[in-house]
Amino acid sequence: MSHHMADLGVREERKRRRVWPWVVGVLGVLLAVLVGLLFAGLALASEAMEVRDDLELAQSQLATVPDLVSSGDAATFDARAAEVLEATTRADQTVQGPLWEFATWIPWVGQNVAAVRSTTEATHILVRDALPPSFAVLSALKPETLRFEGGGFNLEPFRQILAELPPIDAAFASAQAKVATIDRDSLLPIVDEAVGQVIEVIDQTAPLTHTATEVLPTALKMLGEDEPRTYLVLFQNNAEIRATGGIPAASVFIRVDAGRIELIGIAGSAQYQSLFGYRQHLDLPAETLALYDPEFAINSQNYTRTPHFPTIARLFNAITVQMGYNLDGVLSLDPVALSHMLAVTGPVNVDGIEINSENVVRELLSETYLRNPGDQAPADAFFEATSAAVFAKLTTGRWDLMNMLAAIEVINSEQRLYGWFSREEEQSVARELGIDGELAQDNTEQTQVGIFLNDASVSKMEYYLTSSVAVTCDPAARTVTTSVTMTNSVDRDDLTFHILSRRTPTYGGTGTSMLLDVLYFAPPGASILSVDPAIGDAPDLSRTSTEEGRTAQSISVLVNQGETRTVTYVSQLPEGDLGPLAVRYSPTVTDTAVTIAPECVALTGDGQL
């Protein structure tokens, strides 16, 4: 037994002698790897600090660019630009190194390293390719060189920058491609905070530079570069709501010749009515007419009942040509849009009243009617005078161009700006800017639902209206549900005849009730499955038809003082691919909150408002 045990011991010892060197070798390799990773990690950390220092240096130098542009100090700019380029080049070369490439493959760490690497590369591209031409653009577009004395815009600075925009556009497109694959949700908070600012700037600026590059040559023609242009500018009154905002209570005719802008006429709904009475001046399809009040196409106050802005523009063109105006385009704004503009230009004075960004909506849509309880003519005249005063301020005043562009962006996002142009090349600019107001014809770029409001009570009660829109989806059933919620928030009892509702008592309401025609357009190719409530409070005003190939339905509901009502439409979506969901609606005196449920992404991709 003991001899057997001894043999076992010898064999175990021999096995240990064979295994131990292998174990030692493996441990040695692991130790070497760990030491290597440690030193690599330390080296990477050191390089990361160098990259950070280079980018901070670039940032501090870039902060001086606006002052250099203002002073026109090109020599100092060139020196600063060289320093910035040197810093970003150094940072870019660092992140191209093997350590950074290796680190991108490390779990939990790699996506953060890759994000810093891509953002650094994008920053270098912008400094190298976009910074020099950007200085030329900003130098050309100085406020003192942009405007003519007496009104208008000097087109020469815009011509100068035509050659500078394409390289800026290309640089931002290239930078955007570098950061497009970064998943910010997977990043550590400290990394996301660092790279997120750069990503957001690129994502916001890239579309703007591309639009400017595409649009500017045609925009110069629209400003009368080749020949004079005549435009009609409508001011919609949200107190008597219509699909695109409100009744077109006032309008001005402007002439643009080589950038110089001149006011050549003012007209209001009363003047149009006195000149043309109640008759139709433009042939429209019977199915379009079937969707609206019988006065839609025969009274200019009702032209804006349709949400298809080209139809509105053509209706006005049909009557203004009889007044001697050959329109090259029609633009539309509302008092809320004017408030955004006045925040940039400063106030105007009308009939001894200062009209500013804070009070213009209240003065135009409420106070003027309270001051003139028995006659609407003074209120209309005040609206027209204010429109003309704001126009004069826009064309002759000294205001910041970039701030105005930001204000226009807000106006457009709130769906308060529309434009139609008689030349297709110029209408394509309106589409590019998203101000065309056309009912979408297919679901390629977007799946568009539309829910609009038209006053059916003959009143100015919608000054007190607030609304919100909510869209939900059922991916399995392939349906989309669109709801509009309306609140009548009138809080006073001294309303005048022209404000109070005249038709609501017919349907069981009072003078302070609103009767709203809720008009829904299903997406192209979609059908309407149901509406809730089914018939509304004025069944004789319900309508179903089509316009521009889109199925549409409307019902009218009473919204009494202090009451909130909701109308909901359900649509069956067509088969095939669908673009991101988009919502069109009627802008009110207040902002309209629009929500798109997450489950809609399963049907249409990322939603957009």
The answer to whether residue 7 sits within a structural domain is: no
Same domain? For 599 and 567 the reply is yes
| Identity of residue 5 | M
Cα–chain center distance at 242? 21
Which stretch of 303-307, 377-381, 570-574 has the lowest confidence by average pLDDT? 377-381
Residue 400 belongs to domain with CATH number = 3.40.630
pTM recorded for the entire structure: 0.85
Q: Average of pLDDT values for 465-474?
A: 97
Confidence at residue 257, expressed as pLDDT on a 0 to 100 scale: 95
DSSP 8-state symbol, 323: G
CA atoms of 192 and 116, how far apart (whole Å): 9
The answer to whether residue 519 sits within a structural domain is: yes
The pLDDT tens digits for 510-552 are 999 999 999 999 999 999 999 999 999 999 999 999 999 999 9
Confidence at residue 18, expressed as pLDDT on a 0 to 100 scale: 46
- Edge-to-edge strand list for the sheet holding 479-488: 527-532, 564-572, 479-488, 465-474, 593-596
pLDDT confidence tier of residue 68, bands split at 50, 70 and 90: low
Q: How far apart are the first and last CA of the chain?
A: 89
Same domain? For 393 and 455 the reply is no
Q: Over 90: is that where the pLDDT of 137 sits?
A: no
Same domain? For 393 and 245 the reply is yes
CA atoms of 379 and 335, how far apart (whole Å): 14
pLDDT confidence tier of residue 409, bands split at 50, 70 and 90: very high
CA atoms of 241 and 461, how far apart (whole Å): 9
pLDDT confidence tier of residue 38, bands split at 50, 70 and 90: very low
Domain count for the chain, please give it.
3
DSSP 8-state symbol, 307: S
SS3 for 1-39, per residue? CHHHHHHHHHHHHHHHHHHHHHHHHHHHHHHHHHHHHHH
Q: Average of pLDDT values for 287-313?
A: 97
More confident of the two residues 88 and 379: 379
Q: Which two tokens stand for residue 537?
A: 């409070």
List the domain range (segments joined by +) for residue 68.
17-218
CA atoms of 282 and 276, how far apart (whole Å): 13
Residue 598 belongs to domain with CATH number = 2.60.40.1170
Q: Over 70: is that where the pLDDT of 44 sits?
A: no
Q: Among 218, 243, 269, where does a domain finish?
A: 218
The answer to whether residue 415 sits within a structural domain is: yes
Same domain? For 408 and 499 the reply is no
The answer to whether residue 486 sits within a structural domain is: yes
Same domain? For 141 and 173 the reply is yes
CA atoms of 187 and 310, how far apart (whole Å): 46
Q: Among 425, 456, 474, where does a domain finish?
A: 425
| Pairing mode of beta strands 550-559, 543-547 | antiparallel
Residue 312: count other Cβ atoms within 10 Å of its Cβ: 26
Confidence at residue 379, expressed as pLDDT on a 0 to 100 scale: 85
Confidence at residue 40, expressed as pLDDT on a 0 to 100 scale: 42
Q: Over 90: is that where the pLDDT of 417 sits?
A: yes
Beta bridge partners of 254: 231, 263
Confidence at residue 8, expressed as pLDDT on a 0 to 100 scale: 47
Q: Average of pLDDT values for 594-602?
A: 91
| Identity of residue 543 | R
Same domain? For 420 and 495 the reply is no
Q: What percent of the chain has pLDDT over 90?
A: 59
More confident of the two residues 53 and 349: 349
pLDDT confidence tier of residue 179, bands split at 50, 70 and 90: confident
pLDDT confidence tier of residue 357, bands split at 50, 70 and 90: very high
The answer to whether residue 3 sits within a structural domain is: no
Q: Over 70: is that where the pLDDT of 23 sits?
A: no
Same domain? For 120 and 262 the reply is no
Same domain? For 48 and 21 the reply is yes
Q: Which two tokens stand for residue 452?
A: 């609009």
pLDDT confidence tier of residue 563, bands split at 50, 70 and 90: very high
Q: 285: cis peptide before it, omega within 30°? A: no
Same domain? For 307 and 375 the reply is yes
The pLDDT tens digits for 211-235 are 889 999 999 999 999 999 999 999 9
Cα–chain center distance at 503? 36
**Number of residues written out for the chain:** 609
Same domain? For 419 and 459 the reply is no
Confidence at residue 35, expressed as pLDDT on a 0 to 100 scale: 38
CA atoms of 206 and 195, how far apart (whole Å): 16
Residue 364 CB partners (closer than 8 Å, separation 6+): 237, 335, 338, 382, 383, 386
CA atoms of 455 and 246, how far apart (whole Å): 9
Q: Average of pLDDT values for 393-413?
A: 87
Residue 532 CB partners (closer than 8 Å, separation 6+): 567, 568
Same domain? For 502 and 404 the reply is no
Same domain? For 460 and 579 the reply is yes
Residue 433: exposure state from Cβ atoms within 10 A (0-12, 13-18, ≥19): middle
Q: What value does the mean pLDDT of the chain take?
A: 86
Confidence at residue 110, expressed as pLDDT on a 0 to 100 scale: 75
Q: Average of pLDDT values for 30-51?
A: 49
Confidence at residue 122, expressed as pLDDT on a 0 to 100 scale: 83
Per-residue CA distances from 36 to 41, 153, 404 (Å) = 8, 65, 57
DSSP 8-state symbol, 458: S
Which stretch of 194-208, 214-228, 287-301, 579-593 has the lowest confidence by average pLDDT? 194-208
